[in-house]
Amino acid sequence: MNLKWNLRSTPGARWPDGLLSHCMKAALSASLGVILAAAPASATLGQSEASVTSDELQMKSEHRVQTLQNYKIHELTTADGASTVREYVSQQGSVFGVTWHGRSTPDMNQLLGAYVNNLQTATADQTKIQPRRGISVKTKDFVYSNFCRLRMCSGSAYVPSLIPSNLSPEVLR
């Protein structure tokens, strides 16, 4: 295969198919690894409802609880109102999903706990990168998405097997 690189090409010129995508995925994976390795782990997703307290302390946030028929939503909002994290807890007391919205992405080690490894080990087939938008990872045991635009980030993560049978992932908002 003979590829010619024209370094003085016009801005609209295309790279060989797949190369730019491969470079973007490699750079994003490296960045994600550095971000995730920077903070100590404290489990939340997949852990007991008691782990919400450690998240509240870590975020220095206000805590509200909304009790619904089949689950609870713990809403943690920073004092300045810049970020909100919602943790969804089943009747059995385990956190099955987490959502966030704010000026930055929260500490994923804190929110995802052991499931943060799924982000680091996701294959290219399990990862979808949307240029200038965000990333999503979907495996059999874990679903994650994070999108940032105009200094606002929002996302969600959940464990399909932990979602109560009478609920769908759409409850995560």
Pairwise CA distance, residues 76 & 99, whole Å: 10
Q: Are strands 143-149 and 127-130 parallel, antiparallel or unpaired?
A: unpaired
> Which element (helix H / strand E) includes 128?
strand 127-130
Q: How many degrees, rounded to 5, is the angle at CA 126 between CA 51 and CA 91?
A: 30
CA distance 47 to 67: 18
Q: pTM for this one?
A: 0.70
The torsion angle over the Cα atoms of residues 156, 160, 162 and 165, rounded to 10 degrees, is 120
Mean of all residue pLDDT scores within the chain: 76
Residue 91, pLDDT > 60, answer yes
- pLDDT tens-place string over residues 113-168: 899 999 889 999 999 998 877 999 999 999 999 999 888 999 999 999 999 988 88
